[in-house]
A and B are shown apart, each in its own frame.
Chain A
Amino acid sequence: MLSKNKSSDSLTKSKVTECVWKKAFSSSTEWPDKEEFLDVIYWMRQAIGIALGLCWGILPLKGFIGLLLFVIVNAAVIYFYVNNFQSVDEEEFGGMWEITKEGFMTSFAGFLVTWIIMYTGLHGSNIL
């Protein structure tokens, strides 16, 4: 009985995840659950952070300009996604600032880790 419940639970969970993926990638979707939308923003931020970290490390971008570009690109992508792609009313989520803040520090830390590691691996030995 318990295992049946568990398996149906995991089935509904996977269905929900699938549904969220679909909603995240189709434009102007309705988001009745605010948490769901903020979660999408959160995970998107993490992915952007890691992707930018990889790019900046491979290029390699160095110095303050790398950090500044990360902040600009990260904020711009989220701003574009929220306003132009999903066209949600930002006031519903506590304003643009709340959305801009969502998961920023974690994404920044993830970005720094990937940037530093890629840079060290690909270009660090040339400097030493």
Chain B
Amino acid sequence: MWGDSLLIVFISICTAFLGEGLTWILVYRTEKYQKLKVEVERQSKKLEKRKEAHGDSLDKQHKKKIEREEERLKNNNRDLSLVKMKSMFAIGFAFTALLSMFNSIFDGRVVAKLPFYPISWIQGLSHRNLPGDDYTDCSFIFLYILCTMSIRQNIQKLLGFAPSRAASKQGGALFAAPPAQFK
């Protein structure tokens, strides 16, 4: 059983590198992406600074400037996600195929023993396709998802492919409701 769990960790490390490698070939190394990324980061930082400096002021001119910059950032962010999207689809398909292959290999096999009793809505995942009623038995998919969650993001951060905090903060804010002061 230990061998299986270690194998799953190894598999998720490999798939994380493969995923990042493929994304690098299809997206990260392209000039368009690099340009947009630099632009989005620069704009996000600028906007954050501006908001910090004039956040509380009710000056109309500043408000307008901030709104204009937000609009520009929004457009750039949209372009950036469009550049990413095509390759994400391709990689998504490839990984779904890989996942279903691994799923069939580990089908019905207990790969690990959970040191805790999972809550009911996780049991469907942690006990997927496993025989018996012992819910501390762990299925392949649960361990794989956990491994991917931790390993993929860390690899992205190590390789410097993770989006910067300012950009993700501004990006997230763009989809949320506008703050009261800008209404």
The residues of A with any CB-CB pair to B shorter than 8 Å are 35, 38, 42, 46, 49, 56-57, 60-64, 66-67, 105-107, 109-110, 112-113, 115-117, 119-121, 123-125, 127-128
Contacts and interface: CB of A to CB of B under 8 A. Distances in A.
B115 A57 contact: yes
Interface stretch (B19-27, B32-40, B61-69, B149-157): B149-157
Interface residues of B, number: 24
Contacts of B75: none
24 contacts: A35-B164, A42-B157, A46-B154, A56-B115, A63-B115, A66-B116, A106-B153, A109-B146, A109-B149, A109-B150, A110-B154, A113-B146, A115-B115, A116-B113, A116-B115, A119-B113, A120-B138, A121-B5, A123-B115, A124-B112, A125-B1, A127-B113, A127-B136, A128-B113
A112 B1 CA distance: 17
A109 B5 CA distance: 15
A64 B153 CA distance: 26
B14 interface: no
Contacts of B164: 35
In this complex, the member of B115, B138, B154, B165 whose beta carbon has the largest number of chain A beta carbons within 10 angstroms is: B115
Interface in B115-168: 115-117, 136, 138, 143, 146-147, 149-150, 153-154, 157, 164-166
B1 A113 contact: no
Contacts of A38: 165
